[in-house]
Amino acid sequence: MDSEAIEANVVIESNDQYKSEPKAENHIWHNQDNINFYEGVTVEGLKQLAVKAGLTNACDVTALKSYWENADSVLDVGAAYGRVVKGLLSNGYKGKITAIERSHTFCHYLSEKFQDNITLLNIDSADYYTTQSHFDTILFLWSGLADYSVAEQPVIVKKLSQLLNRNGYLIIDTMPMNIKPLHTTQFASQSFSTQIKNETVYTYEAKTAEIRQYAQKCKLSFVELIHCKTDNGRMRWLYVLQRSLP
């Protein structure tokens, strides 16, 4: 989920609820600072956001079909209400799907909705590391990376890269650099914040050069950048990285 998720709480009745406050250039934040907000986002609210983002029909998942259709195993990082899972199943995927989601609310929903289709892990993606489970394709979509600070991003990319099978793909979504996340204040280069009631969401939108650097440090090959147009015409950038070493 990217910082557009500020619209996802259905109890918000008007834009007056948004309180964008500039932060100091040297303000330091971490992914853990966003937990309270995401625990409070409702399932229906996030579905409404997906409509606004043009992602309800999982056009990004469809655009990536060549990278997962023949995979024996797929990991969905930050599964939320199952948008990507549904997209995989709707497109005929028959392999094993593992979904990571730290929100208890979303995990409860996922377990009821997809209990026969997925292996569900109610943990933080940053804490998930095991030599017992590796995947052919890892999907880190809807700007999941942006929810991590600039210092944390290379760390989470490395952790996910270590879960790849040989020749496996790690696919990361970001927003194009010329698009500002909705209802946000830019308080530093590529950094945004929005306060709703008493909770603040922080995001960092990585540049292509940074994604390449993350890949290089993890010994991942940069395969391609896919420009994906969503159902409402908004653009998403999908970076395809591949592990070629054992």
Residue 22 burial (C-beta neighbours within 10 Å; 0-12, 13-18, 19+): exposed
In the chain, pLDDT over 90 holds for what percent of residues? Answer: 62
Number of domains in the chain: 1
pLDDT of residue 6: 33
Give the C-alpha separation, 87 to 19, whole Å: 34
Q: Give pLDDT, residue 130.
A: 61
Range of the domain at 53: 3-243
Q: How far apart are CA 24 and CA 40, in angstroms?
A: 26
Give residue 238's pLDDT. Answer: 98
- What one-letter code names the amino acid at 124? D
pLDDT for the residue numbered 185: 79
Task: State yes or no: pLDDT of 26 exceeds 70.
Answer: no
> What tens digit of pLDDT does each residue of 48-102 get?
889 988 999 999 999 999 999 999 999 999 999 999 999 999 999 999 999 999 9
Q: What CATH number corresponds to the domain at position 149?
A: 3.40.50.150
Strands 18-19 and 185-188: unpaired
DSSP annotation string for 156-199? HHHHHHTTEEEEEEEEEEE--TT-PPTT-EEEETTEEEEEETTE
The token pair at 72 is 């024996």
